[in-house]
């Protein structure tokens, strides 16, 4: 029996995901923005990337392969260089009770 190239070399079939162009555009606030200094970026970031949820935050890959933004309630809490770092930042934000709803949870216990 002859195997296909994909099975012979162990490559995986691409997943059926919509492209970034098909994703809805999202805007969130840049808390580091300084109106008089362009080095701190725009007042709002905009991306078409599909987020994933981790530790109560949405994580967007704003610049492919370079910048991952950790966003909660429309505000960027952290910017990291990798997916793992962004997940870790979301967990730190949860532990430090940066999320308002999580502050309420800790008061109840």
Q: What pLDDT is stored for residue 3 in this prediction?
A: 58
pLDDT in tens, 64-91: 889 999 999 999 999 999 999 999 999 9
> Is this structure's pTM higher than 0.75?
no
Give the residues across from 29 on adjacent strands: 44, 75
**Mean pLDDT, rounded, for 35-55:** 93
Planar angle of CA 46, 52, 54, nearest 5 degrees: 115
Name the DSSP class of 104.
Answer: H
More confident residue, 90 or 3: 90
Q: What pLDDT is stored for residue 97 in this prediction?
A: 75
Tokens of 40: 């701190």
Closest CA to 30 of 70, 64, 85: 70
**Mean pLDDT, rounded, for 47-70:** 93
Report the C-alpha gap between 102 and 91 in whole angstroms.
12
């Amino acid at each position: 029996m002859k195997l296909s190239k994909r099975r012979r070399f162990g490559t995986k079939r691409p997943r059926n995901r919509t492209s970034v162009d098909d994703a809805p555009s999202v805007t969130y606030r840049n808390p580091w923005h300084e109106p008089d200094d362009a080095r701190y970026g725009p007042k709002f970031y905009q991306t078409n990337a599909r987020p994933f949820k981790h530790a109560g935050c949405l994580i967007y890959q704003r610049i492919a392969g370079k910048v991952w933004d950790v966003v909660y309630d429309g505000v960027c809490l952290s910017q990291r260089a990798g997916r793992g770092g962004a997940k870790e930042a979301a967990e730190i934000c949860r532990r430090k009770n940066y999320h308002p709803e999580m502050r309420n949870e800790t008061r109840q216990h």
